Amino acid sequence: MYVTKQDGCTLKIEEIKEHKIRYPKKDIITLLNALEVKGVKFSIVTKENAKKNLENLNYYYKLTVYKRNFNKSSEGKYLNLEFSYLGDIASVDMQLRYILAQFCLDIEHSLKTLLMKEVTENNNLDGYDIIEQFIQSTEKSHSPISKNSLFKKASHISNYQYALYNTHKDCPPVWAVLEIMSFGEFTRLLEFYLNRYPKKGLSVSSLRGLLAGVKRVRNMSMHSTPFLFDLSSNPLEHVNNCLVGYCFKLNIKKPYYKMKKIHDVICVLYMHDEFVKGQGSRVNRCEDLSSLVDRSTLRFHYLNQGSEIMKFFSTLRLILDNYDNKL
């Protein structure tokens, strides 16, 4: 017998059973004992307190994913890894996600402001036709957009934007759509507009690559996905010229900034520097991130200076120092 998954793939019942046997649910003490066998120490945080941590403050995967930052011996045991270190990194990662989320929201707001300025000053548009043109342009794409899909999440009376939806659902103007559409839909609209009405000094191809990085960081931050592990993996094949030039000026080497996570965070900081005009947002975000970098550098005294995390925070410091020079 077979079971069909959501992605259309099928699995044999036997394969499902084997998977469940290989990865069974385990109680917390069993999980902690397994960590101890792998070399994780409980000298700073006792095993009993570690159990309470996993019962009340965090859960196993969200905490133990960070063990990938530590080396193993030839016997496969972790070297110099205390359970408390995993909590340290998890805490810093959480703070980093919150700060990056604010960077991304600033970028989104600034780009929406830019688009509204362009549409408002474009005498060839009335604010409604651009949405009609945009929807039509997606009809033959792999992911077509309709008025219904744009407004779907606001169509229920419990949604905060229901009044806006109810007013404009049949004939949506750009200023209403911007308040409801997803970030992914917005980036498609922005690219569509700039392709049709080019803006001097703004390359759509470069913007597309930068926005892809911002989108990944935004999703990671908003969904509270762990970030500080495997930082120097998954290299990208192509990096747009804006980022290449930016990294060259900062002496960030290509093999490093091609790594997806590094690339994406640099995209966020670059876009924030280029497009966010509000001094309050610029100063506050940089101060928050700068403070986290400084505190984390001291906090991670148990990490080698050449470790992925320390190198990442060193890169953030380099970018922030350059950013601050413009404030």
Ordered by start, the domain boundaries in the chain are 14-87, 123-196
- The predicted-structure confidence for 285-325, as pLDDT tens digits, reads as follows 999 999 999 999 999 999 998 999 999 999 999 999 988 55
**Does residue 151 contact residue 180 with C-beta atoms inside 8 Å?**
yes
Mean pLDDT (the chain, rounded) = 93
CB atoms within 10 A of CB 17: 10
Confidence at residue 9, expressed as pLDDT on a 0 to 100 scale: 59
Residues 6+ apart with CB under 8 A from 124: 197
- For 12, the 3-state DSSP assignment is strand
| pLDDT over 80 at 111, yes or no | yes
- Alpha carbon distance 249, 73 (integer Å): 39
- Cα 237-238-244 angle, rounded to 5 deg: 130
Confidence at residue 203, expressed as pLDDT on a 0 to 100 scale: 86
Q: What is the DSSP string of 64-122?
A: HGGGGGS-B-TTSPBSS-BHHHHHHHHHHHHHHHHHHHHHHHHHHHHHHHHHHHHHHH-
How far CA 6 is from CA of 3, 11, 93, 155, in Å, comes to: 10, 11, 31, 26
- The predicted-structure confidence for 223-242, as pLDDT tens digits, reads as follows 999 999 999 999 999 898 88
| pLDDT over 70 at 163, yes or no | yes
- Alpha carbon distance 262, 66 (integer Å): 17
Q: How many residues are there in the chain?
A: 327
- Alpha carbon distance 129, 27 (integer Å): 58
Confidence at residue 8, expressed as pLDDT on a 0 to 100 scale: 52
User: What is residue 224's DSSP assignment?
Assistant: T
Sign of CA dihedral 273, 279, 281, 284: positive
- Alpha carbon distance 244, 171 (integer Å): 42
Sign of CA dihedral 287, 106, 66, 237: negative
Confidence at residue 298, expressed as pLDDT on a 0 to 100 scale: 94
- For 10, the 3-state DSSP assignment is strand
- Alpha carbon distance 7, 211 (integer Å): 27
Amino acid at 138: T
**Does residue 324 contact residue 286 with C-beta atoms inside 8 Å?**
yes
- Alpha carbon distance 218, 105 (integer Å): 8
Buried b (16+ CB within 10 A) or exposed e, 183-208: bebbbbbbbbbbeeeeeeeeeeeebe
- Cα 194-200-203 angle, rounded to 5 deg: 55
CB atoms within 10 A of CB 79: 9
- The predicted-structure confidence for 187-205, as pLDDT tens digits, reads as follows 999 999 999 999 998 889 8
| pLDDT over 80 at 1, yes or no | no
| pLDDT over 70 at 326, yes or no | no
Confidence at residue 6, expressed as pLDDT on a 0 to 100 scale: 53
- Alpha carbon distance 206, 240 (integer Å): 5
- Alpha carbon distance 39, 70 (integer Å): 11
